[in-house]
Amino acid sequence: MTGEPGWYPSVDGPPGELQWWDGSSWTGEYFPVRRPQAELRPTPPRHRSRTPQLVAFAIIAVLTWGGLTWWKASTGPPPLHEQSLLPLDVPASAAPAGSTLEDAEEFARAFESERDENRSYVSSAATLADAFGSTLVWYDPQEPRLCSHHDDIDRANVTAWYCSLTPHLITLNTDSHHYPELLYSAELVDTVAHELAHKIIDERCGDTEPGVALGIAEGVTNSYAVLYLGASRDRLQPPSGYESEYTMTDATDRAAASIHSGICEAE
């Protein structure tokens, strides 16, 4: 095999994982990096302290991630928002292993978000994501572009994203105008529900913009998050006077219901 160096579906890792091709051979670098089994809970960015726990976490992380340099362990951990590959230590699976999408959606509708010990909604958001087999990660501008179609997004105004190439990750955008304030707002959980809706629609229809949602996909995704994942319509609806592609209407609700019942193409 020849080809441009880059991240490609991994040849010897689990499905959904990417592996770095250096142009002539596969390297030992994977994305996302294989998850360390650490019992430590990182604190949100800007409010972290360099506790021994975090240093220990970094060391464990370095031992686990062959690709990182020893430098990071010897100088203490980088800020959490720079550890884009660092999955949160999510409490034991919120939905039982092997549960169906229907079970996870039911869990989401009954789920009540709350502030965690850091007064943020990060733990609630991570628990919700975990119910769908997803993990929250922080965007790191140093990381290679994984979703080429994200090159042209308005990075300052997008709070999070879902990428079909890494369907089990939800990336929180540290470049957003709303970051890190978003972490301390219940809107974080609604944002994660929106990204989970992208994932569900992608899984069910093989496309985040199936025919039935064509041209109104963001609004349909919001409708899906509200109708089936318990997200707040008030918080996800753009304010009146600021209608956008995210605005929910009867049409987006109908399209979301259609997708939920397994119909992806326009009639």
Q: Which residues bind Zn ion (CB under 5 A)?
A: 218
Which residues contact residue 231 at a Cβ distance below 8 angstroms, ignoring those fewer than 6 apart? 189, 190, 193, 194, 197, 222, 225
H/E run at residue 73:
helix 71-74
Q: How near is the Cβ of 209 to Zn ion at its closest, in Å?
A: 10
Residue placing its CB nearer to Zn ion in the complex, 41 or 199: 199
Q: How near is the Cβ of 163 to Zn ion at its closest, in Å?
A: 11
Residue placing its CB nearer to Zn ion in the complex, 61 or 182: 182
Q: How near is the Cβ of 185 to Zn ion at its closest, in Å?
A: 17
Q: How near is the Cβ of 212 to Zn ion at its closest, in Å?
A: 16
Question: Structure tokens of 147?
Answer: 């979703």
Task: Determine the residue type at 95.
Answer: A
Strand 18-21 versus strand 6-9 pairing type: antiparallel
Alpha-carbon span 42 to 266, nearest angstrom: 45
Q: How near is the Cβ of 97 to Zn ion at its closest, in Å?
A: 28
Label residue 91 exposed, middle or buried (CB < 10 Å: 0-12, 13-18, 19+). Answer: exposed
Residue placing its CB nearer to Zn ion in the complex, 73 or 147: 147
Question: Structure tokens of 99?
Answer: 């549960």
Which residues contact residue 237 at a Cβ distance below 8 angstroms, ignoring those fewer than 6 apart? 222, 247, 248
Name the E strands within the chain.
Answer: 6-9, 18-21, 26-31, 135-138, 160-162, 169-172
DSSP summary character for residue 264: -
Residue placing its CB nearer to Zn ion in the complex, 80 or 192: 192
Residue placing its CB nearer to Zn ion in the complex, 42 or 219: 219
Q: How near is the Cβ of 196 to Zn ion at its closest, in Å?
A: 11
Query: Alpha helix (H) ranges present in 146-249?
Result: 187-205, 217-229, 233-236
Residue placing its CB nearer to Zn ion in the complex, 17 or 195: 195
Q: How near is the Cβ of 71 to Zn ion at its closest, in Å?
A: 36
Residue placing its CB nearer to Zn ion in the complex, 135 or 223: 223
88 neighbors 130 (Cβ within 8 angstroms): no
